[in-house]
Amino acid sequence: MSEQDLQQLAIHFGQQSYRGKQLHHLLYKTKAKEIQDFSHLPQAFRNDLQEAGYKVGRSPIHQVVTAADGTIKALIKLEDNRLIETVGIPVEDSKGSSRLTACVSSQVGCPLRCSFCATGKGGYSRNLKRHEIIEQVLSVEELFKHRVSNVVFMGMGEPMLNLKSVLEAHRCLNKDIQIGQRMMTISTVGVPNTIKKLASHKLQSTLAISLHAPNQRLREMIVPSAKSYPLDAIMKDCKDYFLETGRRVSFEYTLLAGVNDKVEHAAELAELLHSWGSGYHVNLIPFNPIEGSEYRRPYKKAVLAFAAALETRKVTVSVRQTRGLDAAAACGQLRNEFQKDPLLVPSDNPEPISVAPIAV
């Protein structure tokens, strides 16, 4: 709830509106996890909140895995016993300053079933509610005992298929938890009509398009949902998004060995981008191997050649450092280890929380 929501809640229970401000401070600054811990509030108000069914706190963490590079992946167990993944990625730059990125899920599973993605292989259940998105960020902060500086909506699920909750969570993360809009990225594989809808909100966050191919034929092979949203339509929407918001669109491109990682593909990608404008940024992601996939991770030489081919054609490019390889950090991998099918864990036999460093 926002500060305004909490003030209205206080008034509804016959309290002064400043009690709502106190509630806001207790939730987002003190991070109290029980209503009875709201020591600043009158006991009668606390009792009223509990009796009316209001709850605070977090969904329990079902399993935690820590990679050698410090990346932590957590499985969070929701009220209906379904599991979602969230990842905390610590980065220290050359100047010694550190940032902590939370990679959050927006759905339980994903209905789009991209061919290289572990989440799609695990099936789809439902959209996440706004609090289920927000608490992932708070859980990462608690695991690291460090403030989250960046949030990427790149975990399980397609954010644009749950845009209402994603936008509500985005507002809370920005206004209540006070993470700058420019420190957040919303990623999408492309859902018709949703980029226009997002543009109307004029966010200062980055929109990242999961492209993965330079032409429609290859993209349909990798991303089956691309059949309903042709490449030209996506590129037009991206151009309109820039005109509406003034924010450049970033393109994610997962490199799959022998499939879309040739220099010719890079040349075709550069041509596609230039035909729709200039100033686009491409983020190359070497494939994170997953169990049962026919795809392979490209050799470093192929990745560098692809990046060089884009750079010589005046396309800004970066190569994402692969994090958490030993922690099943590719989207959906860890959840699939614990939750094959159906999408539930037994409620009467919860997995104990464990932090398990992985040796390399």
Annotated active-site residue 331? The verdict is: yes
Contact criterion met (CB below 8 Å) for 198 and 164: no
CA–CA separation, 292 vs 41, rounded Å?
Answer: 54
Instruction: Write out the DSSP string of 44-64.
Output: HHHHHHHHTT---S-PPEEEE
The catalytic residue among 85, 132, 135, 158 is: 85
Helix H, strand E, coil C: the string for 258-320 is CCCCCHHHHHHHHHHHHHCCCCCEEEEEECCCCCCCCCCCCCHHHHHHHHHHHHHCCCEEEEC
Cα separation, 109 vs 103, in Å, equals 15
- Count the neighbouring beta carbons within 10 Å of the beta carbon of residue 25: 15
**Residue of 225, 149, 150 lying closest to 186 (CA atoms):** 150
SS3 content of the chain, % helix, strand, coil (to 5): 40, 20, 40
Please tell me which residue in 158, 331, 337, 351 is annotated as part of the active site: 331
311 is catalytic: no
- Tokens found for residue 37: 């811990």
The pair of three-digit structure tokens given for residue 167, joined into one six-digit string: 């936008």
* CA dist 55 → 1, 51, 168, 306 (Å): 12, 10, 19, 51
Residue 128 CA: distances (Å) to CA of 2, 30, 80, 120:
18, 25, 11, 16
165-201 as b/e: b if 16+ CB within 10 A: bbbbbbbbbbebbebeeebbbbbbbbbeebbeebbee
How far apart, in whole angstroms, are the C-alpha atoms of residue 325 and residue 352?
A: 23
Active site positions, annotated:
85, 331
